[in-house]
Structure 1
Amino acid sequence: MSAYKGVRIADFTQGVAGPMACMLLGDFEAEVVKVEPLGGDRLKDHPGYPAWNRNKRIVTLDLSDPSDLEKARDLARAADIAVFDHPPGDLEALGLDAATLREVAPDLIHVWMPPYGTRGRWSRMPPRHSLLAAASGIAFRQGAYGDSPVHMILPLAWYGQAVMGAAAMGAALYERGASGQGQAVTVSGLNGVSEVGGVVMVLDQPRLPRGTPQGGSPSYRLYQCGDGNWFFMATLFMPFYRKAIDALGLGAHWEGLALNPQLALEVLEDIFRSQPRTHWLGLLTEAGVPCAPVGDRTTWFAGEVVRDAGLRLEFDDPVRGRLAMPGPPVRLSATPASVRSLPAPGPLPVWAPNQPLAAGPGASRPLEGVRVLDMGSVIAGALAGAVLANLGAEVIKIESPDGDPFRSDGGPFLTCNRGKRGLGVDLKQPGAKEMFLDLVRQSDVVLDNYRFGVRKRLGVDYEALRQVNPRIISCSVNAYGDAGPRAPLPGFDPLLQAEGGMMAAQGGDAEPVLHTIAVNDVATAGIVAFGILSALNARHQTGEGQEVITSLLAQSLTFQLGEVVTWEGRPPAPKGGVDCLGLSPVHRYYECQDGWLAVAAESLVEAEALLTVLGTPADPADALSAPPEGPLAGRLADILAGRTRDGVLDALEAAGVPCIPCVRGYEAYEDSWLAENGVFVAWKHPRLGEAVGVRSYADFDRTPGGFRHPVPDAGEHTREVLADFGLSAERIEALLGSGAVFEPAAARTHLRDGGAALFIQ
C-alpha cells in the first residue's frame, strides 16, 4: 500500500505548478486523471511535461462544449480532490467553482492554484513566471551587480507553489479523515512565493544589503581558480571557516582576516587564482571544509552521486526514445512512492460517486492535534516545521544549550521558526533522553536534519523512537541522502546549487551566479512537510508510523525537474547571464522614468502588439528569438526610459501584452496588489517588537491555518511545554537542576548573522 492509494484526483491544471502538485500525490499511488483542452496542455511540448504528468491518465475535454463540460463536472464531483488553475472568475462561469461542486459533493476537496493571486488587476495575466517574480519582489531580491531586477531561469515560485499545493492536499485529506468533510483550498502563485522567498521584516531593524551574484561573505562565496573554473566555499559557520583558513596556511592571520571581511576576500581571491580548481578542492576537502565545484545539470544528473541516491529513472518514451527523469524526492519506509508510467491517453473514467464519509468532530485547523518535536535547524529543517505550524500543527522547537547555529534576531531565522514554542534540551545530560522519549510517546512526528549517523549516536533514530511509540513518524533530512560515500558529509544549499548546475544555468556563458533564495533549502522544507503529511495519511489507514527520508541532493533535482529531464536530442534549457534581464527583447525587464516593469510576450500576436504600442518596427518572429541585450532590446530600453511606468502598463495591458510592475524587495511589504491578496500580516515579537511576515502557505475555507505563536527564544517555553506533556512540577525542577533541560537564562547566547546573505531583500 502507498500513502494515497485509493484517492481519486481530477487534475484540470496546465503548465508547471498544478500538474507537479498532482504528480507528487500520484507518485504515492493516487489515481490522477488529467483533463486537457483540445490543443493539449499549454506546455505539452516542454521537456518537463513527461515528468510533471507521470503516473497520469490524460483525457481530452472541450469545456466550451456543454456535453464535455457536464462530463468535467461529473468527474470533479466524483473525485476526492479536484484541482484547477483558472484565473479568477473563470471557474464560476463554468460551474466548476468550489461552492457549485461541493453543493452536490460535500466531501470534495476543491483545490484552486491560480498562477498569480486570487484578486486584483494583475491576477488574470497569462501565466509567466517572470511576471510573478516581478510583482512579488523576488526578482529584485536576487543578488546583482547593478540596480535592476533579475530574470530567474528556474521557475522557483511555481515549483514552490507545486510543493505547497501537494502539502495542502495532504493536509486537507488528513483533516477529512477525521471530520468526513471536504473544503475549498487555495494555493496561489503568491503562496508559492511565500514559501520560497517570504522573509520576516522587523520594523526597527536596518535593511540587509542586496548582495552580489558571487555571495555576500568571503566565507560563503564563489571563487574562480587559476584554470578559470569556479567552486563554492560554504563555510557558513565559524568552525568551518577556521578550518579553511588553517588549510590555506593563513592560521597565523586568523584574527585579522575574521575581523576584516574585505581583506579576507582579497587574500582568498588571490590565493585561489594561483592554482587550478582540482588542487583547491582536494586541499579543502581533505581538511573537512564544505566546498563543491560549479558544474552543469546534465553531468550532475548522469553522475554517480545521483545514481547512488536512486534518483535517476529511465523509461522508453514512444516519441522521445530513452528518457531519464528524477525519481520521487522523498522516501517513506513503509508506503514508498514509485514512478509507474509516463503520461498516457486513456478513456474518461466512470467513477462511482463517493460513499458518504463517517462524520467526525470538525477541526479548527488542518493539522489540529498533530504534535511535532522539531529538532530541525538552519533553513531546511527549521522551515519545514514552520510550514507544519502554519497548517495547524503544534510544533515544539527543541534546541541544545548551544542553540540552533542559525539563531539570530534577523529576518531569515525568524522566517524559519514562526509558529513554534521553544524547549531547551541537552540530550547529552543524564535523564534527558528518558525525558525526550516520554515526549515521543505523546507525539506524532519527530523532525531533524542531523548529519547522517548523528541521530543514531544520540539514540533518537527511528528504530529507537518506534520502540516507545509505534505510531511515531520520524523524518530526517541531510545533505546527500543516506546511501553512497557522501552520505556522512556536511552540506549547505549553495554546494548543491553549484554542483547541481543551478549556478551555471543562471550565469549562462558568463560567471556562475549564486541564487539569493536558498533554493535547495526551501525546496527541502516543502518536501519534508509533504512527506510528513503523506506519512500521516498513511498512518490513518495502517495505524503505524514510519520513517521519512529526504535530502538537499533530492531537491537539487526537484526544483529543476523540468530542466533535468533528458533524452537524446532534447532541446536545450534556457540560460541566463550576469544580471540577466530576460530571454528576449519582448520577454524582459525594462526601466521606465519612475520604476521597472516586466513584459513577457511569448506569441507572435503578443510580440506584435508590444512592438506596435512602443512604435518600434520589427519582425515579431525575430523579436521573440533576438538576444535580450541586442539592438532591438536597446531601442525598446531607450523608448521606455523616457516614459512613465503606469502609462506604459495601461497601454500594454489594453493591447493584450502580458506585463506587470517590478516591485523592489522592501516595497513588497506595502504594495497594494500584494496587500489586496493578503500576502503579508503584521505581528509582534515579544522582545523585538513589530514585524511583518507572510500570512500563509495555503488557505482553507473551513479550517483556516496561520501562525499562532511568534518566534521562540531558545528554551523559552520549557516549563510550559513539559507541563503540557504531563510532567509534574517536581520532575520539571529536577530536570532543570540537572541541566537536562534549560530556560532562556541558562542558554548561551549566540547571536550570529544567521547567514543573512542567503535572504537579502
Structure 2
Amino acid sequence: MSAYMGVRIADFTQGVAGPMACMLLGDFEAEVVKIEPPGGDRLKDHPGYPAWNRNKTVVTLDLSDPADLARARDLARAADIAVFDHPPGDLEALGLDAASLREGAPHLIHVWMPPYGTQGRWSRLPPRHSLLAAVSGIAFRQGAYGDSPVHLILPLGWYGQAVMAAGAMGAALYERGASGQGQAVTVSGLHGVSEVGGVVMVLDQPRLPRGAPQGASPSYRLYRCGDGEWFFMATLFMPFFRKAIDALGLGAHWETLLLNPGLALEVLEEVFLSQPRRHWLGLLGEAGVPCAPVGDRKAWFAGEAVRHAGLRLEFDDPVRGRVAMPGPPARLSATPASIRALPAAGVLPAWTAPALAAQGEGSRRPLEGVKVLDMGSVIAGALAGAVLANLGAEVIKIESPEGDPFRSDGGPFLACNRGKRGLGLDLKQPGAKDMFLDLVRQSDVVLDNYRFGVRKRLGVDYEALRQVNPRIISCSVNAYGDAGPRAPLPGFDPLLQAEGGMMAAQGGAAEPVLHTIAVNDVATAGVVAFGIISALNARRRTGEGQEVITSLLAQSLTFQLGEVVDYPGRPAAPSGGVDCLGLSAAQRYYECRDGWIALAAETVEEAGALLGALGLDADPREALCAEPEGFLARRLAETLAQLSRDDALARLGQAGVPCAPCVRGYEAYEDGWLAENRVFEAWRHGRLGEAVGVRSYADFSRTPGGFRFPVPDAGEHTRQVLAEFGLDANRIEALLAAGAVFEPAAARSHLRDGGAALFTQ
C-alpha cells in the first residue's frame, strides 16, 4: 500500500508540467485517468510521453461535444483531484472551473496549472517554454558571454511547476484529511519559475552579477584539459579549494591565489591544459576534491552510478519497443512508489464521489501544525524547508556553531531560508543530543542533507529517531544516494550537471555550459518537499512515520525526464550552443531597438504569420527548420533591430505570432505583468531592511500559505523555540552555558558575511 492509494485523479492536462505532476502521485498508487482530446496529447509523439503518463489510464473525450463534456464534468466531480492546464477563461466557458465543479462536490480539490500566469496580456500564449523563460526573467538569468538572453534547452520552469503542483496536491489532500473539505489550488508556470529561479533582492544591495557560462569563480568552474575534454571542479567552500591547491602543488602560493581570483583562474587554466582529463580527475579525486567529468546524458543514464541507485527501469512498449525511463525520484521506506505500467487506453471509470465528514472550517494553512526540524543546508536541503514553510509548516532551521556553509546576506541564501526560525545546536556538546531527541518527540519531520553515514555517526539517523517517536518522518538527502561506491562522496549541483549531460546539452557542439540555476539542487528541494508531504499523507492512514531518501543523482534525471527516456530509434533531444538564442530562425530570441523579444513559431501557419507581419518573402516551412544563426535568422534580426520592442510585439501579436518580451532578471521585480500575477512580495529582514522575494509556490483558495517569518540569523530564536517545546528556563540556561545550544552572539563571525563560501557566484 503506497502513499496515495485510493486517491482518484482526473488529469485533463497535456504536455510536460500537468502530466508529470499527476505522474508523481500516480507513482504512489493514485488512480489517474488521463483525458485527452481526439487528436491526443499535443506531445503524444515526444519521447517523454510514456514517462510523464506512466501508471495512467488514457480516455479520449471531445470537450466540444456536449455529451463528452457532460461525462468530463461527472468524472471531475467524482474525483478527489481534477487537474487542468487551460489558459485563463477557457475553463469557465466549459463549466470546468473550480466554482462550477465544486458546487455540489465540496470534497473536490480543483487544481489549475496554466502554463504562464492567471491573468494579463501574456497568460493566454500557447505553451512554449522559451516564452515562459522570457517573460519570467530566467532567460536573462543564465550566464552568458554576451548581453543576451539564453534559450534553456531543458524546460526547467515546467519541471518546477510539475513538482510544485504535486506537492500542492499532496498538501491539499493532507488538509482535507483534517477538514473534510476540498478547495481550489492554482500552480502556474510562474509558481514553477518561483521555485526554480527565485532569488531575494535586498533593496540597498547591488544587483547580483549574472555569471559566466563556465562559472564565475576559479574555485567553482568548468576547466578544459590537455586532451580537449572538460571537467567541473566544485570547490565552493574554502576547505575543498585548499585541498585542490595543495594537490596541484600550488600550496606555497595559497594566500596569493586566494586574494587574486583573476590570477588563480589564469594559473589553474594553464595547469589543467598541461595534462589529459583522466590525470586530473585521478589526482583531485584521490585528494578528496569534488570534481566530475562533463559527459553525455545517454551514457549517464546507462551508467554504473544510475544502476547502483536503481533508477533505470525498462518496459515493453507496443509502439516504441523496449523503453528505459528513470524510476520514482524519492524512496519512502514504508509506502514506496513504483512504475506499474506505461500509459494505456481504457474506458471511463464508474467513480462515485467520496463521502467525507465535514469537520469545521479546517486549517488556516495547508500544512498547519506540522513541525519540521530542518537541519538542511546550502540549497537542496534548505530550500526544501522553505517550500514546506510556504505551505504552512512550522520550520525550525537548526545550525551548528559553524553554521550553514552557504550562510550569507546574499539573495540566494535568503531565498532558501525564508519562513523559518533559527535554533543554534551543537550536537557534540553534553546534553545536546538528549535535548534534540526531546524536540523529536514533539515533531513530525526531521530533514537533513548530511553526507551518507553522518546521521548515524551523530546518532540522529532514522532508527534512532523512531525509537523516541514512531510517528517521525525522517528525510535525508545526499549527492549520490545510499548505495554503491559513490554514496559517501561529497557532491554539489554542478557535478551532476556535468556528468548527467546537462552542461553538454546546453553547450551543444561547442563548449559545455554551467546552468546558472542550480538545476539539481532546486529539483531536489521540490522532490524532498513532495516526498515529505506524501509521507505525512501515508501517516494519516497508517499512524506510523517512515524514512524518505533522495539524492542529487536522482534529480539529475527528474529535471530532464523527457530527455533521458530511451528506446531504439529515439530522436535526439535538442542541444544548444554558446549563448544559445534558440533552436531555429522562427523559435529564437531577437534584439529590438530597445530590448529583446522571444519568438516561438512552431507551426507553418505561425511561421507564415511571422514572415508576413515583418514583410519578409520566404517559405514558412524553411523558417521552421532554418538555422538559428543562418541567413533567414539574420534577415529577421535585421528587421526586428529597426523596431522598438513594443512595436514589434504589437505587430507580431496582432498577426497571431506567439511572442513575448524578454525581461532582464533585475527588471522582473518591477515588471507590470509579473506584478499583476503577484509573483513577488516585499518583506523586511531584521538586519538588512527592505527586501523583495517570491510570494508563493502555490495558491490555495481556502487555506492560503505564504511566508510567515523572514530569514533567521543562526540561533536567533533559540530561547523562544526551546520554550515553545516545553523546556523550562533553568534547563535552557544550562544548555546555553554548556554550549549545547547558542544564540547569535555565540555564532562565529563568518556567519555574517558568508566567509565559509569562496568566490560565490
Q: Same fold (TM over 0.5)?
A: yes
- Quick one: which of 743, 751, 754 aligns to 1:752? 754
1:210 aligns with 2:182: no
Q: Distance between the aligned counterparts of 1:360 and 1:399, measured in 2? A: 38
1:29 aligns with 2:29: yes
Q: Is the 8 A contact 1:77 1:108 kept in 2?
A: yes
1:738 aligns with 2:738: yes
1:489 aligns with 2:495: no
Q: Distance between the aligned counterparts of 1:493 and 1:375, measured in 2? A: 19
Task: Give 3-state SS (helix, strand or coil) of 1:140's partner.
Answer: coil
Match in the other structure for 1:95: 95
- Post-superposition CA distance 1:59-81 (Å, at most 9, x none): 00000000000000000000000
What is the aligned-residue RMSD (CA, Å)? 0.9
Q: Is the 8 A contact 1:143 1:213 kept in 2?
A: yes
In the TM superposition, what is the alpha-carbon distance from 1:754 to its structure 2 partner? 7.6
Paired residue type of 2:461: D
Task: Give 3-state SS (helix, strand or coil) of 2:14's partner.
Answer: coil
Q: Distance between the aligned counterparts of 2:178 and 2:431, measured in 1? A: 36
Q: Distance between the aligned counterparts of 1:447 and 1:31, measured in 2? A: 29
Q: Within 5 Å, which residues of 2 pair with 1:292-307?
A: 292-307=292-307
Match in the other structure for 2:55: 55
Task: Give 3-state SS (helix, strand or coil) of 2:35's partner.
Answer: strand
Task: Give 3-state SS (helix, strand or coil) of 2:572's partner.
Answer: coil
Q: Is the 8 A contact 1:410 1:753 kept in 2?
A: no
Identity of aligned residues (%): 84
Q: Distance between the aligned counterparts of 2:139 and 2:434, measured in 1? A: 48
In the TM superposition, what is the alpha-carbon distance from 1:123 to its structure 2 partner? 0.0
Match in the other structure for 1:285: 285
Q: Within 5 Å, which residues of 2 pair with 1:1-40?
A: 1-40=1-40
Match in the other structure for 1:276: 276
Paired residue type of 2:652: L
Q: Distance between the aligned counterparts of 1:138 and 1:657, measured in 2? A: 22
Paired residue type of 2:714: A
Q: Within 5 Å, which residues of 2 pair with 1:211-250?
A: 211-250=211-250
Match in the other structure for 1:567: 567
Q: Is the 8 A contact 1:379 1:525 kept in 2?
A: yes
- The worse-fitting range, judged by mean Cα deviation, of 573-582 and 203-212 is 203-212
Paired residue type of 1:13: T
In the TM superposition, what is the alpha-carbon distance from 1:621 to its structure 2 partner? 1.1
Match in the other structure for 1:530: 530
Paired residue type of 1:124: R
Q: Is the 8 A contact 2:219 2:758 kept in 1?
A: no
Q: Aligned residues, how many?
A: 759
Match in the other structure for 2:590: 590
Match in the other structure for 2:663: 663
Which ranges of structure 2 fall in alignment gaps of 5 or more residues?
A: none
Match in the other structure for 1:429: 429
Task: Give 3-state SS (helix, strand or coil) of 2:192's partner.
Answer: helix
With over 3 angstroms needed to count, the CA separation of the structure-2 counterparts of 1:270 and 1:635, relative to structure 1, is: same
Q: Distance between the aligned counterparts of 1:465 and 1:354, measured in 2? A: 36
Paired residue type of 2:143: G
Q: Distance between the aligned counterparts of 1:45 and 1:563, measured in 2? A: 13
Q: Within 5 Å, which residues of 2 pair with 1:357-372?
A: 357-372=357-372
Match in the other structure for 1:108: 108
Task: Give 3-state SS (helix, strand or coil) of 1:298's partner.
Answer: helix
- Post-superposition CA distance 1:286-339 (Å, at most 9, x none): 000000000000000000100000000000000010110000000000000000
Q: Is the 8 A contact 2:175 2:366 kept in 1?
A: yes
Paired residue type of 1:413: F
Q: Distance between the aligned counterparts of 1:434 and 1:59, measured in 2? A: 55
In the TM superposition, what is the alpha-carbon distance from 1:361 to its structure 2 partner? 4.9
With over 3 angstroms needed to count, the CA separation of the structure-2 counterparts of 1:519 and 1:754, relative to structure 1, is: farther
Q: Is the 8 A contact 1:33 1:57 kept in 2?
A: yes
In the TM superposition, what is the alpha-carbon distance from 1:357 to its structure 2 partner? 3.1
Task: Give 3-state SS (helix, strand or coil) of 1:538's partner.
Answer: helix
Q: Is the 8 A contact 2:135 2:662 kept in 1?
A: yes
- Post-superposition CA distance 1:545-582 (Å, at most 9, x none): 00000000000000000000000100000000000000
Which ranges of structure 1 fall in alignment gaps of 5 or more residues?
A: none
Match in the other structure for 1:177: 177
- Post-superposition CA distance 1:406-463 (Å, at most 9, x none): 0000001000000000000000000000000000000000000000000100000000
Q: Is the 8 A contact 2:405 2:757 kept in 1?
A: no
Q: Distance between the aligned counterparts of 1:757 and 1:5, measured in 2? A: 47
Match in the other structure for 2:308: 308
Q: Distance between the aligned counterparts of 1:208 and 1:79, measured in 2? A: 46
In the TM superposition, what is the alpha-carbon distance from 1:211 to its structure 2 partner? 1.2
Match in the other structure for 1:321: 321
Q: Is the 8 A contact 1:55 1:339 kept in 2?
A: yes
In the TM superposition, what is the alpha-carbon distance from 1:207 to its structure 2 partner? 1.2
In the TM superposition, what is the alpha-carbon distance from 1:755 to its structure 2 partner? 6.0
Match in the other structure for 2:632: 632
Task: Give 3-state SS (helix, strand or coil) of 1:471's partner.
Answer: coil
With over 3 angstroms needed to count, the CA separation of the structure-2 counterparts of 1:754 and 1:170, relative to structure 1, is: farther
With over 3 angstroms needed to count, the CA separation of the structure-2 counterparts of 1:592 and 1:755, relative to structure 1, is: farther
In the TM superposition, what is the alpha-carbon distance from 1:654 to its structure 2 partner? 1.0
Q: Is the 8 A contact 1:410 1:754 kept in 2?
A: no
Q: Distance between the aligned counterparts of 1:155 and 1:756, measured in 2? A: 30
Match in the other structure for 2:674: 674
Q: Is the 8 A contact 1:410 1:756 kept in 2?
A: no
Match in the other structure for 1:141: 141
Q: Distance between the aligned counterparts of 1:249 and 1:756, measured in 2? A: 20
Match in the other structure for 2:76: 76
Task: Give 3-state SS (helix, strand or coil) of 1:115's partner.
Answer: coil
Q: Distance between the aligned counterparts of 1:510 and 1:754, measured in 2? A: 34
- Post-superposition CA distance 1:6-25 (Å, at most 9, x none): 00000000000000000000
In the TM superposition, what is the alpha-carbon distance from 1:359 to its structure 2 partner? 2.0
In the TM superposition, what is the alpha-carbon distance from 1:757 to its structure 2 partner? 7.8
Q: Is the 8 A contact 2:119 2:677 kept in 1?
A: yes
TM-score (norm 2): 0.99
Q: Distance between the aligned counterparts of 1:113 and 1:480, measured in 2? A: 32
Q: Within 5 Å, which residues of 2 pair with 1:339-488?
A: 339-488=339-488
Q: Is the 8 A contact 1:178 1:361 kept in 2?
A: no
